[in-house]
Chain A
Amino acid sequence: MDNFSQLWPLLYRALLETALMVSISIFFAVLIGLPLGILLYITQHPLLFKIKPLNATLGWIVNIIRSFPFIILIVAIMPFATWLVNASHGPVFASVALSIAAVPLFARLVESSFNGVKDGVIEASIAGGAPIYLIVTDVLLPEAKKSITQAITLTIISIIAFSATAGVVGGGGVGDLAIRYGYYRYDTLTMIITVIVLVIIVQIVQWAGDFISNRGEEK
């Protein structure tokens, strides 16, 4: 590609694909990862809902998924993803693998956000006779809100990075564009522009995440 006008339609499409993959994946990462993170936390806390075997099992599953190199994960879950979205390629198809990778990552980040909540506050809540669901909704989540917002930011950025690999299943996206055109075809212009675009996207996400998480604090 010699000039930007040739690249633009490709880039535009890639941006939409990235946006789609990231949106689907972060949605499921939060939807499943947040309860999973809560469960990981409360099942190890002696004052809350300590069930060692359950905690160990969940932790084990989370660790296994997180150990997979992403490209192997994509291939490994292909049959499942095909069955789930009734397709065998494209950004939605790739989102299945991205979500599966993002859920345990986000769950662990949520768990460690809760670890930052002072134990004394939980002790005071137990002493006040509060049920566990109320401690989760009214103590853990508000106290960890800033840290969880940061965890969402970090997860989005990780999904953007993972999504570059999604090209192997035709997921598309900006990262894939960089690899296919920039790297494999030695197309320097495309490579530079896509990398710059990625840098800008990541900066914007980080900036927006910081803005939201700090806003809560100044109340």
Chain B
Amino acid sequence: MNRLALVVVANCLFAIQWCIAEAETDEQVAARSDAIDFAGAFQNDGFKIRDGTYFGKISKDHSAVVAVNLYNGNAYWFAASTAEKAEKLKISVFDEAGMPVSYEPFQSGTRAAAGFSPEASGLYYVKVALEDGPPATFCLIYSYK
């Protein structure tokens, strides 16, 4: 009986720890909500928003780079949001060698986006940088068509 109780307690502790570790912070929830809201504009234009998201922390000195595999022929919009005030976010796209590629930038305070149509399938890098403001949590999503 004691052993059973110990197992139950251990499992509960593990579950609590797991929940604490995996729970999204308020900043992440706000950033994702704003990013999805922002990407809705692209959805209206026929773009499909991917279900996956990426959260990261950025500051003026530290940017985040995410690797994505894209297909030629598709058009992509990468959208990010910090959902916090007084920030200037920027998204840029690079090829597999890390060289900048031509893309359509959009920047509006805490939101930023980059439209890109690859000429070759393969690996690309999406860089999310903070040009102004205090460190922040961002959410990156992308849509394709």
Query: Do A and B bind?
Result: no
Residues of A near any B CB (own CB < 8 A): none
